[in-house]
Amino acid sequence: MNSDKAKKGLERMPNRSLLYGTGIHSDHMRRPFIGIASSFTDIIPGHINMRTLERYIERGVENGNGTPFIFGVPGICDGIAMGHHGMKYSLPSRELIADTIETVASAHSLDGLILLTNCDKITPGMIMGALRINIPTIVVTAGPMLAGHSGKKRLSLVRDTFEAVGKFKAGQLKEEERKKLEISACPSCGSCQGLYTANTMACLTETMGLSLPYCGTAPAVLNEKIRIAYESGQRIMKLVKQKITAKKIVTKRSLENAIRLDMALGGSTNTVLHLMAIAAEAGVNLTLTDFDKISQKTPHISNLRPGGESFIEDLHFAGGIPAVLKRLATKINSTRTVSGKTTLKIAEEATIFDHDIIRPLNKPYHKKGGIAILKGNLAPQGAVVKQSAVDADMLTFTGCAKIFNSEEEAMKAITGKKIKKGDVVVIRYEGPSGGPGMREMLSPTSSIVGMGLHKHVALITDGRFSGGTRGPCIGHISPEAASGGLIGYLINGDKITIDIPKRKINVDLTTKQIKERKKKIKLLASKVKTGYLYRYSRSTSSASTGAVYKDNQ
């Protein structure tokens, strides 16, 4: 056992004494040591149910003849951090979380890991850390929130709070209704109700093979989630015995499955960053080209919020991820999973209960996948858009640039009704290095939708978007402004053309004009000079490679 390094032999007498100091029995000393990395916190609704899940994971590990140890992992709620300085810490926290998993598991010579996670970048961060140390690992995502209700109307956080801000500003919402939405949109524990980043990553983690079947979609409040937690504790012991490590699960073929499912569901654009970062830790070469190739050949067969009207709970009751895999059976790779079954076996055993929530391949919502990769003189290294959440008549758009050097500047202009039909809102210096931290732009994009401008206005940024963003919003513009990207040299009035079907994004400037701009315009200096964000800004790579630490490449 790996843990023998810390507990076996005469020289480890002091080590054992300290372990006995935790209250464990001599029987526990002979068993494999299993770390339960818990991101429990009282401030994230998606994580407040984790104390119960910890207990049942512990029970499963004990039942499987293992010794469980819980340790803490930090977490940030993107929704609470949204729209202000706090969001700068969201993506960088992924690297902190990966470092925490690596550090604690390595320092204590753990034999296996259960990763108890849920929201956004916490899930990929934990997986990245587990891949570094490459020991047997199972991920338990704590589950999505139930839909809110206002009478018979179902509510979700993004549609009914973030977009409601714009509606209220436009005079389409009364104060009494606004207050009711605010208190009713998030009725339970769990991650936000649509196919936003947290739930997308939970679904992709299950598809990769790191979670047990149905874990990715089972609502947080269901006892089914508790049983999955218990079974995960049991199952990790079999993985330890069989020496099935994280890198034996996360391979190029399993990552391709995750991308294909992402395209079929129309998931968050953040998954591009996260899957590329996970691939880097797994030693797998994954590029933006892989995403676009798979998108071109994968129909969009499930239309959840923000693009559609269904919720993640609807997907679960329609058959969950196994049912989606069943639809995609002719397109997915047969890969190993922590359940002991292959992806194709899981697909074979699944039942599809709702043929509109999970449509047949020949009756898709869209013929191509949810995400598109655009390139052009504005983004020679690539840019990302959630095309499944863009209205058909906005898939191609030409407009005049309105330049903003921060999210706050843009938000002030949008809510101040200074954005007009035909504008392309350009938000720059919000990339991984320039932000720093690559903030999500949910507040401005939601306000544009709420004010009814999403059919007349586009938005581009070197930052990123929440999984809740909809409309012609192009993110991850690479290279970013702070790294000398052309987006840093744009001026008000520049003519920008977005052509999603042709995968193009260009500004109408000649090579000579661009050279002249670069001579005259001085890029802005770094926004921070101290602390973790400064260190992150100096170390992070381009969004086109996953915004990972450069020393990981």
Read off the pLDDT of residues 448-474 as tens digits, 9 standing for 90 and up. Answer: 999 999 999 999 999 999 888 899 999
> What number is the average pLDDT over the span 375-390?
96
User: What band does 170 get if pLDDT is binned at 50, 70 and 90?
Assistant: confident
> What number is the average pLDDT over the span 13-39?
97
Token pair for 445:
């994009």
Mean pLDDT, the chain, as a whole number? 96
Residues with Cβ within 8 Å of residue 534, at least 6 apart in sequence: 436, 526, 528
Strand 495-499 relative to strand 504-507, pairing: antiparallel
Long-range CB contacts for residues 404-409, cutoff 8 Å, separation at least 24? 404/428, 405/429, 405/524, 406/430, 407/83, 407/439, 407/441, 407/443, 407/444, 407/463
Place of tokens 């401005």: 444
Greatest Cα pair distance in the chain: 76
Altogether, the residues listed in the chain come to a count of: 553
Give the Cα separation of 357 and 124 in Å (integer): 26
- Helix (H) or strand (E) holding 113, with range, is strand 112-117
Give the Cα separation of 121 and 127 in Å (integer): 10
Q: Is 466 a catalytic residue?
A: yes
- Helix (H) or strand (E) holding 531, with range, is helix 531-539
Number of helices and strands (H, E) in the chain? 23, 14
pTM: 0.96
For residue 553, pLDDT over 70 is answered with no
Say if CB 430 and CB 485 are below 8 A apart. no
- Give the residue from 154, 157, 140, 221 showing the smallest Cα distance to 194: 157
User: Which DSSP letter does residue 174 get?
Assistant: -
Residues with Cβ within 8 Å of residue 175, at least 6 apart in sequence: 168
> What number is the average pLDDT over the span 29-37?
98
The number of CA neighbours under 13 Å toward the Cβ of 36 is 29
User: Which DSSP letter does residue 158 get?
Assistant: I
Indicate the SS3 state at residue 379. strand
- Taking only the tens place, the pLDDT of each residue in 184-237 is 999 999 999 999 999 999 999 999 999 999 999 999 999 999 999 999 999 999
Angstrom distances, CA of residue 362 to CA of 236, 327, 346, 366: 39, 10, 22, 10
Full set of structural domains in the chain with CATH: 31-146+188-349 (3.40.50.2300), 149-184 (no CATH), 371-552 (3.50.30.80)
Strand 473-478 relative to strand 495-499, pairing: unpaired
- Taking only the tens place, the pLDDT of each residue in 236-249 is 999 999 999 999 99
Phi and psi torsions of 374, nearest 5°: -105, 150
Give the Cα separation of 139 and 94 in Å (integer): 16
pLDDT value of position 43: 97
Written as one letter, the residue type at 250 is V
> What number is the average pLDDT over the span 256-264?
98
Say if CB 190 and CB 220 are below 8 A apart. yes
User: What band does 268 get if pLDDT is binned at 50, 70 and 90?
Assistant: very high
Say if CB 260 and CB 331 are below 8 A apart. yes
Q: Torsion-angle region of residue 452: left (phi > 0), alpha (psi -120 to 50) or beta?
A: left
User: What band does 4 get if pLDDT is binned at 50, 70 and 90?
Assistant: very high
- Give the residue from 94, 97, 38, 32 showing the smallest Cα distance to 66: 32
Task: Report the percentage of the chain scoring pLDDT > 90.
Answer: 95
pLDDT value of position 468: 84
Token pair for 243:
């020496």
Give the Cα separation of 488 and 410 in Å (integer): 15
What do you get for the CA distance between the two ends of the chain, in Å?
A: 30
The number of CA neighbours under 13 Å toward the Cβ of 346 is 29
User: Which DSSP letter does residue 381 get?
Assistant: E
User: Which DSSP letter does residue 146 get?
Assistant: P
- Give the residue from 88, 82, 93 showing the smallest Cα distance to 123: 93
> What number is the average pLDDT over the span 293-297?
97
- Taking only the tens place, the pLDDT of each residue in 298-337 is 999 999 999 899 999 999 999 999 999 999 999 999 999 9
For residue 539, pLDDT over 90 is answered with yes
Q: Which of 466, 478, 537, 542 is catalytic?
A: 466
pLDDT value of position 551: 67
For residue 552, pLDDT over 60 is answered with no
> What number is the average pLDDT over the span 43-69?
98
Beta bridge partners of 401: 424
- Taking only the tens place, the pLDDT of each residue in 395-453 is 999 999 999 999 999 999 999 999 999 999 999 999 999 999 999 998 999 999 999 99
Give the Cα separation of 264 and 73 in Å (integer): 31
User: Which DSSP letter does residue 287 get?
Assistant: -
- Helix (H) or strand (E) holding 519, with range, is helix 511-520
Give the Cα separation of 165 and 79 in Å (integer): 14
In this structure, the number of other CB atoms found within 10 A of the CB of residue 155 comes to 20
pLDDT value of position 218: 98
pLDDT value of position 84: 92
Say if CB 78 and CB 84 are below 8 A apart. no
Indicate the SS3 state at residue 476. strand
> What number is the average pLDDT over the span 159-175?
91
> What number is the average pLDDT over the span 263-273?
96
Provide the sign of the torsion angle of the four alpha carbons 222, 228, 231, 236, taken in this order. negative
